[in-house]
Amino acid sequence: MSRYFIDRNAKYLVLVCASTSFIILAAIAIFILKEALPAFQHVGFTHFIFGTTWRPTMGGFGILPMIIGSLAVTLGAMVLAIPLGLGCAILLAEVAPHRVRQFLRPAVEILVGIPSVVYGLIGILLIVPLVRQIGGSGYSVAAGALVLTAMVLPTIISISEDSIRAVPRRYKEGALALGATHWQTIWHVLVPAARSGITAGIILGMGRAIGEAMAMIMVTGNAVQIPTSPLDPTRTLAGGIAVEINYASGLHENALFAIGVVLFILILAINSIAILAIRRGRHAQDVC
């Protein structure tokens, strides 16, 4: 077999690979939609999204409490993770000596690979009892948000650090030459210049947070109610699917797939925003 033969046919091989993955993705999307359709037809899309009663075995199919639950834990996690992550990224990119960075950077990267069930276990053993000290049963929005914070931090840190490092060297030199202090340079020049990359990191972290099922089942308490305090139990969309799928049949099962469609749309929207943010960032850097 000559290398010319390989050369001529390699493109077909990669085409087969590409179309296989595309077809699998399309098949998944079609399958979820097909399974969800009876639920949307039976309940109606608006009633499904804005209904507040979830009693699927007695005909209650409203997922608003789960949508709010998902948004509450995600928002809580973001409020904590953004300042912490950004601070850590600045430390790694600008402040820490080379040797500290050599140790910290791989440590952060290892955190990304820890399975979510392990985060959930840590949540049950550490965070839930801690929240119980403040009030309630401990299974709560607060516990969910704290566990998610730990889960999304690595994503935010590594992407933010990369984008701060990617800021052209002349920006920093220019700022220092104009008499700005190191901190002024970081806060007024480097961070704003890396803004699009940092945004992308935050949004990717948000995508991970909103889709997390296992860890959320373990720490949020799974009660389907609109939480009125951070100490109230709640249920997320992804957690709702995973909790009930074992026992669901008929319309109940269709409704769980319909939750999947809503989650699919939410995550698609978040990822599209991330892609737009990254594109806009590239564009801005080209102009400079």
Partner 1 sequence: MKIRKTWKWLLLPMVAALLVATFLLAGCSSGSLGTITESGSTTVQPLAEKLAGAFKAKNPDVNIVIQGGGSAVGIKAANDGIVDIGAASRELTAADPTLVKHLLARDGIAIITHPSNPVTNLTMAQIIAIFSGNVTNWSQVGGPNKAIDVVAREEGSGTRTAFQDLVMGKALIKADAILQSSNGALKTAVSGDPQAVGFLSLGYIGSSVKALTINGVAATEANAKNGTYPVVRPLYFLTKTQPTGIVKDFIDFCTGTDGQKVVAEEGYITVD
Is the Cβ of residue 137 or residue 271 nearer to partner 1 in the bound state? 137
Residue entry with tokens 């007695």? 58
Angle of helix 195-211 versus helix 251-287 axis, rounded to 10:
170
Phi first, then psi, for residue 275 (nearest 5°) are -65, -45
Is the Cβ of residue 43 or residue 191 nearer to partner 1 in the bound state? 43
Q: Using CB under 8 A as the criterion, which residues of the chain lie in contact with partner 1 when the complex forms?
A: 12, 15-16, 19-20, 23-24, 27, 54-57, 124, 128-129, 132, 136-139, 217-218, 221-225, 232-233, 235, 242-244, 246-250, 252
Q: Is 86 exposed, middle or buried (0-12, 13-18, 19+ CB in 10 A)?
A: buried
CB of 251 to partner 1, least distance (A): 11
CB of 231 to partner 1, least distance (A): 11
Is the Cβ of residue 52 or residue 102 nearer to partner 1 in the bound state? 52
Residue entry with tokens 């480097």? 190
Is the Cβ of residue 122 or residue 124 nearer to partner 1 in the bound state? 124
How far apart are alpha carbons 85 and 286 in whole angstroms?
Answer: 27
* In contact, 89 and 157? CB cutoff 8 Å: yes
Is the Cβ of residue 55 or residue 188 nearer to partner 1 in the bound state? 55
Is the Cβ of residue 36 or residue 81 nearer to partner 1 in the bound state? 36
CB of 194 to partner 1, least distance (A): 40
* In contact, 55 and 229? CB cutoff 8 Å: no
CB of 2 to partner 1, least distance (A): 20
- Measured CA distances, 152 to 193, 214, 218 (Å): 23, 15, 17
CB of 114 to partner 1, least distance (A): 20
How far apart are alpha carbons 263 and 242 in whole angstroms?
Answer: 13
